[in-house]
Structure 1
Amino acid sequence: MKKTAKVNELYKQLKTGVEEFYSSDRWKEFLTVQARFHQYSFRNVLLIYMQCPHATRVAGFEDWKKFGRHVKRGETAIKILGPKHRREVDEKTGEENWVLNGFYQASVFDISQTGGEELPSLSYELSKDTPTLRRFYEMAKAISPAPIQEVTLKGSMKGSYNYTTQTISIKKGMAALQKCKTLIHEIAHAMLHTETDKPRELREVEAEGTAFVVLNYFGFDTSEYSFSYVAGWNGSAEHISKAGEAIQKAAVKLIDDLEAILNEKESAA
């Protein structure tokens, strides 16, 4: 099968896989729990980010108990603004209403500051680790357009591309398949998104879609992770269609670069 045809086939497989994931029990369970988390105002989102940049899921001390989790001893609370309300009675109608009457300082905690029962997750870390995958990781590092560092990352983050310093960070201690997929994901960001005003969800669909196509082209299946990841970033059929051209072009370029390294190794053998 020609390279472009195989890339196109894998792209279609991504679309189908994400569509099927949306009808799965795992997706429904995730939405049920997610709906119980507070939606914070823009001002509070900024406050949370300033105090805990790696925050992903935030809730109050008592709310975490409802989820079967507890705040770890010694953790510092994230301070946000909680609304205060007072009851008012309409003199004409006699109806009672609650109106905003200022704010108070409230304390919340990120999931990384808690322990206890696991919450439903969309994506579970890939665990496969073989010498072939470790060699593939080194090949992927060699074609990266940005410097790579392996670091300790907090929370659920497995990798990142810093648009300011143009560097890639990969979480230490992951299995080789997860490292390979994460690295190709971040390389895709470095290739596609250095000068773009695309919305975050589209960028993530493009990067993860590229990682899925490239890894699966070389025989490393990441569907267990990639389908749910794309779904979590609103990877609807519309979004995946918009991302299609970018995914296919980036995937072909990366596959060409990786095959060039393989050919060099074969020639030298």
Structure 2
Amino acid sequence: MNAKVKAVLDTILDQFLNGNIPELVALSTYPVSILPMNKWSLLNQLVCYITGLNDFRGYKQWLEVKRYVKKGEKATNILVPWIRKDKDEQTNEEKSFLAGFITASVFAVEQTDGEPLDYQKLELPPFPLMDRAKELGVNVAAIPGSYDHYGYYSQTKKVIALASPEEAVFFHEICHLADDKISGIQAGQDPIQEITAELGALALCQIVGLDGSKHFGNHYRYIESYAQKLELTPYCAVLKVLSRTEKILNFLLKEAEHELCSVPQ
């Protein structure tokens, strides 16, 4: 597998160097779901998104959809208004006023059990390397479509969540997983990590995927956006992460050859 990995990476480098980049192809996504937390303040949403998860609700909100918080789960605290009622001294009418803020405990869907939610009924395609992710102790799940991301890998919750049925998105996230297993990764959108994962995804699309170079233009422009943050050209950026990406690909493919033999070409 090493020779094939090297050959594909060399071909990609050549295309980056020559500027032979296809146009963007729109990525499909699952339907956008309106979650209760979408109505929360931006601050409260950010507090929850920092955890890497995206569906938080209060204890009673989970009961309303017949789901129950697992025993021993730790809550995330958000701020909610503390509304008090008092009588107006002049009119003697009872009025409500903001007395301050208090904290409320919320839990992510991954911290609950019970009836499946509508978006949990979404079915993922049988991606190549899906079993490899599970071997590495990570669950792969579909999530509602999002306006700001196609998927994510959570180190803490050990999940790859996908808002898109495109294999390129899955390959990007499993490269983050492999990178994490090999040497550890930082939380957040680190440019080097993002370029590495996207280069790995581009290579996997051509090595084991069914789409091949279908989204080459998307991969290139994603890498270009993070290369600009490092003040590098896309070509120099992929050169910088080439060795790291090769290790990731070999790590994923070495133990998965038996799985790939059954993937239709």
More helix, by proportion: 1
Report the TM-score when normalising by structure 1: 0.48
